[in-house]
Amino acid sequence: MNEFKYISENLKRLEDDILRLCVKHGRNRDEVLLLPVSKTQDIDKIRYVYEQGYRTFGENRVQELTQKIPVLPDDIRWHLIGSLQSNKVKYIIGKTVLIHSVDRISLLEELNKRAHADDITTDCLLQVNISKEDTKSGIEINDVESFLSMASSFENIRIKGMMAIASFTGDKNVIKAEFETIQRKFVDISSKKMHNIDMKYLSMGMSGDYAEAIEFGSNIIRIGTTIFGPRS
Ligand SMILES: *Cc1c(COP(=O)(O)O)cnc(C)c1O
């Protein structure tokens, strides 16, 4: 599959860069998960990345995810990273290892209901809005604690951490300040014991800002363009 050689070259360059950044910031490479984001990508390209050894992929739309699952290998661990409508929960319950985009209690209620019906627990991240842009979804940083204390009562949900998307800006200082804000919150909450809350993952960093994310403690970086090239 020589036509996809550029993808393996992109991966190699990216892995080298992640390793360099981990060393630079005193991080262990093993604690940062590279999550290839395969949204809009053809099955052949995703399979090629799989063949390079990757077993965890991120998708942002339920319909696309449910179409891809049956035609790709069974041992792929799928993350849902995009916003989730409550009426779509039934299609993906039990099919993801992590949902990054929980941003409201009504969604947790639906997830909990469906997980309970299937006798499973569903791992989720809380999406937190760290950007000043109105268009970004996620709960406000000051509301995180009260949200978590409500989330705590859903017995078929485990909150495994937080996810954030930085402002779309070339100003690295703005991005660093946003990542630092959520890192502080993450560390702060990690020190507290809350039922059903286990602050294990801090999902932040995309193609344009994974360097800053690694600097500020991210342990899941969600990378699409840098691996697959620009989306059509
Ligand atoms: C598309 C997407 C990404 C990956 O973006 P790239 O800039 O292509 O790396 C990461 N996170 C979310 C939530 C996305 O929707």
Nearest-angstrom CA–CA distance, 10 and 17: 11
pLDDT tens for each residue of the chain, 232 residues long: 589 999 999 999 999 999 999 999 999 999 999 999 999 999 999 999 999 999 999 999 999 999 999 999 999 999 999 999 999 999 999 999 999 999 999 999 999 999 999 999 999 999 999 987 766 689 999 999 999 999 999 999 999 999 999 999 999 999 999 999 999 999 999 999 899 999 999 999 999 999 999 999 999 999 999 999 998 7
Ligand 1 centroid to residue 2 C-alpha, Å: 26
Distances (CA, A) of 148 to 11, 87, 109, 158, 183: 36, 23, 13, 11, 16
Ligand 1 lined by 223 (C-beta under 6 Å): yes
Residue 80 pairs in a beta bridge with 59, 99
Positive or negative torsion for Cα 42, 44, 45, 49: positive
Whether 79 lines ligand 1, by a CB cut-off of 6 Å, is: no
**Ligand 1 centre and the CA of 21: distance in Å?**
20
Q: Determine the atom of ligand 1 nearest the C-alpha atom of 208.
A: 7
Question: H or E element: which one contains 176?
Answer: helix 172-190
222 lines ligand 1 (CB under 6 A): yes
Q: Which residues make beta-bridge pairs with 140?
A: 129
For residue 70, what are the CA distances in angstroms to 15, 43, 65, 75, 184? 28, 11, 9, 11, 40
